[in-house]
Amino acid sequence: MQIKPKNYFRHRFLPIEVLMAPHRAKRPHDNGKKKSNKCPFCPGNESETSTELARISNNGKWLLRAVKNKFPVIDEEDGIHEVIIEHREHNKRFANFSVDELTLAIKFALERKAEAEKQPHIKFAALLKNSGRLAGASLQHEHSQLLAFKFVPEVIAAIQKNFNKFKERTGKCPVCEQLKEEVTVFENSYAKAIAPKASRVEYELAIIPKRHFAKFSEIKDEEIRGIAKILRKALKRLAKEGIDYNLLYYDAVADNDFHAFIILLPRKTILGGQEYLTSLITLIHDAKEVREFYRKAI
């Protein structure tokens, strides 16, 4: 049974779902300041965050923390909204994490996602990262967010349905086919970054584990590290250009088959009326140009 939160609204006939959360206007904003004594995610300001749910420590100091979101999109009775603080240092950007630090951050976030999915009432857990103001971040200090719902958002249900249809029609996994057919930007033994022909924004990348598995809870440590190595290369290129971005984690709904992957969504493109009215995206750069853009960082 799927249960919509109290603050959920759906348009009568357009494919628009809304969560009304006016209290989020009170979130702290640092406006991208490099130094902020009031940052709630910095060491010494732990009391400024809500309840701590998990942490990773070393030599008595925390490295990463997961806390309840102080300004949640949904109430606790309707689901879960966590903030995952990914580093102690306020100014340490994701692009400047070491491979070990990036691997640990991704692994910790995926563990929080898997923990949420164990709850019997949770139907879908969304893991995402907003980096920079254009990507929706209010605080510069690196963090990701986990939102877990008692229902499956329509767009997620449609993605799963389309995956199932492709597999039924062809007998093949559409993501595995992407790995074979689309332009490769970066690759190692465990993962590949491709430039999808059908992208939502310029310079979008899909970072895909080579092994087929449906849920990120099934991922192996070496696969996380392989993803981290690729992601680090891509983020260094975006950082060089000062481009904000989102990271979006996609995997199976319920016990369906799927091929888990991550989307890196640079926020350089401003959508126009055509995109909002028709959902038809106009792109300037083709996949080969996207590959060249990212490989300039090598």
Supply the DSSP string of 122-167, one letter for each residue: --EEEEEEEESGGGT-S--S-EEEEEEESS--HHHHHHHHHHHHHH
Reported confidence tier of residue 166, pLDDT bands at 50, 70, 90: very high
Average pLDDT over residues 215-230: 98
CB-based contacts of 94, cutoff 8 Å, min separation 6: 86, 102, 105, 129, 131, 142, 235
Average pLDDT over residues 263-268: 96
SS3 17: strand
In CATH terms, the fold of domain 31-295 is HIT family, subunit A (3.30.428)
b/e per residue 131-163 (b: at least 16 CB within 10 A): bbebbebebbbbbbbbbbbbbebeebeeebeeb
| Identity of the residue numbered 89 | E
Please determine, for residue 289, whether its predicted confidence score (pLDDT) is greater than 80: yes
d(CA 97, CA 93): 7
* Closest listed residue to residue 104, CA positions, set 62, 46, 56: 56
Whole-number pLDDT of residue 26: 86
DSSP state of 268: -
Sign for the CA dihedral angle at 51, 251, 235, 205 comes to negative
Whole-number pLDDT of residue 105: 98
Q: Which segment of 35-49, 106-120, 124-138 scores lowest on mean pLDDT?
A: 35-49
Question: Domains of the chain: which residue ranges?
Answer: 31-295
Strand runs labelled E in 20-164: 52-58, 61-68, 79-85, 124-131, 143-149
Average pLDDT for the chain? 95
Average pLDDT over residues 166-185: 98
Of all residues in the chain, the percent with pLDDT exceeding 90 is 93
pLDDT (tens digit per residue) in 10-58: 999 999 999 999 999 888 887 666 666 789 999 999 999 999 999 999 9
